[in-house]
A and B are shown apart, each in its own frame.
Chain A
Amino acid sequence: SQTIHQWPATLVQPVGSPLSLECTVEGTSNPNLYWYRQAAGRGLQLLFYSVGIGQISSEVPQNLSASRPQDRQFILSSKKLLLSDSGFYLCAWRKPGPRGRTDTQYFGPGTRLTVL
Chain B
Amino acid sequence: TQLLEQSPQFLSIQEGENLTVYCNSSSVFSSLQWYRQEPGEGPVLLVTVVTGGEVKKLKRLTFQFGDARKDSSLHITAAQPGDTGLYLCAGGQTGANNLFFGTGTRLTVIP
Q: Which residues of A contact B (CB under 8 A)?
A: 32, 34, 41-44, 46, 49, 51, 57, 59, 88, 90, 92, 99-101, 103-110, 112
Contact = CB atoms under 8 A, between A and B. Distances in A.
Contacts of A112: 40
B41 A106 contact: no
B98 interface: yes
Contact of B42 (A43, A103, A107): A107
Contacts of B78: none
Contacts, number: 64
Nearest to A109: B42
B99 A57 contact: no
Contacts of B90: 105
Interface of B: 30-31, 33, 35, 40-45, 48, 50, 86, 88, 90, 92-94, 97-99, 101-104, 106
Nearest to A88: B40
Contact of A105 (B33, B41, B50, B93): B33
Contacts of B88: 43-44
A42 B101 CA distance: 11
Given A44-B88, A109-B42, A110-B40, 15 more contacts: A41-B86, A42-B103, A42-B104, A43-B88, A46-B98, A49-B98, A90-B42, A99-B92, A99-B93, A99-B94, A100-B92, A103-B30, A103-B31, A107-B43, A108-B42
